[in-house]
Copies of this chain bind each other. A is one copy, B any other.
Amino acid sequence: MPGSGQPGSGQPGSTPPSGRARARDLGLAPGTLLPGPANAITDVPGIRVGHATVIEGTDVRTGVTAIVPDRLVPEGRMPAETMPAGLSVFNGFGKITGSTQIAELGTIETPVLLTATLSVFRVADALLTYLRELRGGEQMPGTLNPVVAETNDSFLSDIWARPITAAHVRAALDSAAAGPVAEGCVGAGTGTGALGFKAGIGTSSRLVPLSGGPVTLGSLVQANFGGVLTVLGVPVPRAPDPGPPSGLASGQNVPGQQAAGGSGRPPRPGSGHEDQPPPGSCVIVLATDAPLDARRLERVASRAFAGMARTGSNFSGNSGDYALAISTAPASAAPETAERPTAAAGSGLVSGDDLDLLFQAAIEATEEAILNSVFMAETTTGFRGHIRHAVSLDSVLQITGRKARSGRM
């Protein structure tokens, strides 16, 4: 059966699920800067994204998403370099491996993986295995600092099963590609929900006209947090009594087993599927080819939360909200460890008004990425029969007073 429990079962990157659409295709794009060609984090040269969607039986709806910088995983070789990185923690109630080293050294050494809360450790371990195998027989470095973050998809998936294997991690990494990125119920977004609706992975990018020439900034989110969905300032409250989903408005995603569909299946008594989803989290990864050191990247990262605020997040104390920004610029910062030196520290770091433009891009791209994560997700039934409903895009258009631009709808 296709897609069920198999590693790498993401949708093709370029086609929205039936009845779903990206915010920009609905005429609902925030901000004033223009997006890159794929309107995705992969518009940043040297950044690839891969997913492994993990769906098993009725209780597992989860996965892994990999953000892979070419510089750290060149073909067939171990990471030979570090990249400047800045982490901003808005609310630290979550898990992210490698965080203290990023804070101390301002660098990452591995791709960034997103997954489900209790799978963080298996995924981090699998990332070590993967990188070791890449290197083949060569000597390994003294140690390595895998970066893996998570959100809690326990409403739709059995987190204590910790179902993600090294094969899934390998599939996400190996499938990482440039170009369009699959969004919604895919990879680490398979089981997440946000702002009252099913959500998942979303991404967006901005072309940033710096004084020294244009650069690109992209954002990718694993959206799993509370609040009231707010689309360009207009609240889209959750329907009080969500009936069976139908038609275009709320696409279905009954993954891996048709019979378990959310529409026709009566709730098991006592199955808890009426439960409120637990407070979630939001992990945001930003990448840019602008030359930025770790300090500036940390400042860029913090601006992502302004984008998140505009989507209606309630910033619950139980939500682990993290933003990590990295720069692919070749010499934008010197690492501080003797083990992995690079030639020279950065010159021409972005400052002043140019830096403010990157901040604006981080805000806009993150707001749009979160909207995409909600708009592209389909209604999903999972653990204990719980259902998270997709938002009706018809309703969104109606409430916001827009008409769809795109013929896709």
Contacts and interface: CB of A to CB of B under 8 A. Distances in A.
B99 A99 contact: yes
Interface stretch (A64-72, A118-126, A198-206): A118-126
Instruction: Give the interface centre of A96, A145, A154, A299 by most chain B CB atoms within 10 Å.
Output: A299
A103 interface: yes
Given A351-B338, A356-B314, A100 B89 contact: yes
Contact of A94 (B101, B118, B162, B230): B101
Contacts of A143: 117-118, 152, 154, 159
Contact of A320 (B100, B314, B335): B100
Interface string A123-162: 0110010001000000010111110000010100001101
A249 interface: no
Interface string A286-319: 0000000111100100110111011001111110
Contact of A338 (B318, B347, B359): B318
A121 B121 contact: yes
A214 B95 CA distance: 34
Contacts of A37: none
A267 B101 CA distance: 35
A306 B91 CA distance: 13
A230 B31 CA distance: 12
A179 interface: no
Contacts of A232: 233
Contacts of A144: 118
Contacts of A122: 121, 125
B162 A317 contact: no
A348 B337 CA distance: 13
A12 interface: no
Given A94-B101, A143-B118, A336-B351, A309 B305 contact: yes
A43 to B, nearest CB: 22
18 contacts: A95-B98, A95-B145, A106-B295, A128-B162, A142-B152, A279-B338, A299-B336, A305-B309, A306-B315, A307-B309, A317-B352, A317-B356, A318-B337, A338-B352, A345-B345, A345-B348, A346-B346, A347-B347
> Which 7 A-B pairs have CB atoms at the shortest separation, nearest pair first?
A233-B233, A338-B352, A92-B104, A92-B100, A309-B309, A306-B309, A121-B125
Given A92-B101, A95-B101, 6 more contacts: A92-B105, A95-B98, A121-B121, A121-B125, A143-B152, A334-B349
